Amino acid sequence: MISLLVATHNPHKTREFARLLGVDFSLRDLRAYPAIGEIVEDGTTFEANARLKATAVSRQVAGWVLADDSGLEVDSLGGDPGVRSARFAGERATDAENRARLLRELAKLPNGTSRAARFRCVLALAHSGEVVATFEGLVEGEIAASERGTGGFGYDPLFRPRSREETVAELSPNEKDRLSHRGAAVKHLRRFFRAL
């Protein structure tokens, strides 16, 4: 069994990683290490932020550390919210506040403007203070006109994957995992460990 420390305080992300990785992995997260505070994510890309988190935590805790940075990119908003997805409506914004701001920004655009978007995830795997590998996954889709569904978190009630009528929040956890950006990145991570 492979032991991984997930560099997050977000229990939603930890549960999602546990589902995606399965029984071959034993996970814990930063809630088990209260002395490790929030890590400043001041990178300009998802990969930069994932690397920052992975190396910062890996310098303090032995073993494998997995960090991710992920978010939503909306083409008509120049790629926003992007790396600011969790803080789109402000530093302490809730998921609902971020979704509301996204809808407000889209409402300012002319009728018929493309609502094409993607979820992007970059994972950084570190050991002994160094990033060993990075893995990327994405899922293309569009922003729905209004929120639908009660599952998931973040922008899930607004994002409809390509070729699906449902938003991510309307999908079962298994369907979401099969389609998700994080799921795609985790497939690359699993291949890495199988090759070791």
Q: What amino acid positions are annotated as catalytic residues?
A: 69
pLDDT at 171: 95
* pLDDT score of 14: 92
**What confidence score (pLDDT) does residue 173 get?**
86
For the domain spanning 2-195, the CATH number is 3.90.950.10
Please list the ranges in the chain whose pLDDT falls under 50: none
Question: 128 in helix, strand or coil?
Answer: coil
Domain boundaries, the chain: 2-195
pTM of the model: 0.91
Q: 63 — alpha (psi -120 to 50), left (phi > 0) or beta?
A: left
Per residue in 23-60, pLDDT (tens digit) is 999 999 999 999 998 888 899 999 999 999 999 999 99
Closest Cα to residue 123, out of 51, 68, 192, 183?
Answer: 68
Q: What's the confidence (pLDDT) of residue 81?
A: 98
